[in-house]
Chains A and B, each alone.
Chain A
Amino acid sequence: MANETASAKVRPQFRNLSLAQITSYRLPAAGIVSILHRVSGVLLFLMLPLLLWLFDISLRSEGTFERLRGIAGNFFVKLVLLAAAWAILHHLVAGIRYLALDLHVGIEKEPSRKSAVAVFVISVPLALLAAIWLFGAI
């Protein structure tokens, strides 16, 4: 009898996250590192032809090299380059953390939380340096 009443109870259901829940869902630092690793990777994938084009005109001739200075002087191009710089830095630093985790280095709860925070402590100031380097000359 006890079992029957227990099974009749309305039990909470945990479904997949819906889009509306994303903003109220509090991720731990490692979760933020993880989703940004994916976001930065997709961003770099999409920017690849642009970055290769910049690489191309930087090498094609002295004239196109000088033209690149002009293109890179544009505010919006600088923003795009800053996004690329951040994406590379975050992807690289977080990637090194994942390689360490794959080797079972720092997989305990507290070390892994600290290394997740460390990813931001390293990548964000480096991205800020890139921003100063890009926008400092304005």
Chain B
Amino acid sequence: MAIGAKRLVVGAHYGLRDWIAQRLTAVILAAYALFFILYLIVVRAGAPVGYDEWAGMFAPNWMKVLTFIAILALLYHAWIGMRDVWMDYVRPTGIRLGLLLLTVLWLVYCAIYAAQTLWSV
């Protein structure tokens, strides 16, 4: 049932959106993985990677932003996946809500931690 032109108030319409988002974030992650391997090969150029080369990879701002986008994609991807797992295996509403809440907190913590790491280099 629609209220006004845009707002849907009934039904699981988030299903298709999340289904697409899960695949879109998967593509972002696969692309980042491929990019990262190529970047590592370029930086490495046959020599072992020491601290300076490793930290140097994450020094440019575009690399921080790109990596953080990949991490946000990972967290949204993980959220949809874990939500599906809890919905499949945990029936009691209270426990399921608790697990969903813990999952969100866990993932938000990871996002903030990753941001701190990236912008401290």
Q: Which of B50, B109, B117 contacts A59 (CB 8 A)?
A: B117
Interface size class of B (residues with CB under 8 A): 20 to 34
CB pair B113 A56 closer than 8 Å: yes
> Total contacts A to B, CB within 8 angstroms?
59
CB pair B23 A102 closer than 8 Å: yes
A52 within 8 A of B: yes
A120 within 8 A of B: no
CB pair B30 A96 closer than 8 Å: yes
Query: In this complex, what residue of A is CB-closest to B85?
Result: A42
B58 within 8 A of A: yes
A45 within 8 A of B: yes
Which residues of chain A are within 8 angstroms of B113 by Cβ–Cβ distance? 49, 52-53, 56
CB pair B110 A59 closer than 8 Å: no
Query: In this complex, what residue of B is CB-closest to A59?
Result: B121
B26 within 8 A of A: yes
Q: Which of B26, B27, B78, B116 contacts A48 (CB 8 A)?
A: B78
Whole-angstrom distance between the Cβ of A91 and the nearest chain B Cβ: 9
In the bound complex, how far is the Cα of B82 from the Cα of A38, in angstroms?
Answer: 9
In the bound complex, how far is the Cα of B27 from the Cα of A94, in angstroms?
Answer: 13
CB pair A42 B120 closer than 8 Å: no
> Which positions in A face B, CB cutoff 8 Å?
38, 41-42, 44-45, 48-49, 52-53, 55-56, 58-62, 65-66, 92, 95-96, 99, 102
> Which positions in B face A, CB cutoff 8 Å?
23, 26-27, 30, 33, 50-52, 54-55, 58, 78, 81-82, 85, 103, 106-107, 109-110, 113-114, 116-117, 120-121
Given contacts A38-B85, A42-B81, 9 further A-B contacts (CB under 8 A): A41-B85, A42-B85, A49-B110, A56-B113, A56-B116, A60-B120, A62-B51, A65-B51, A96-B30
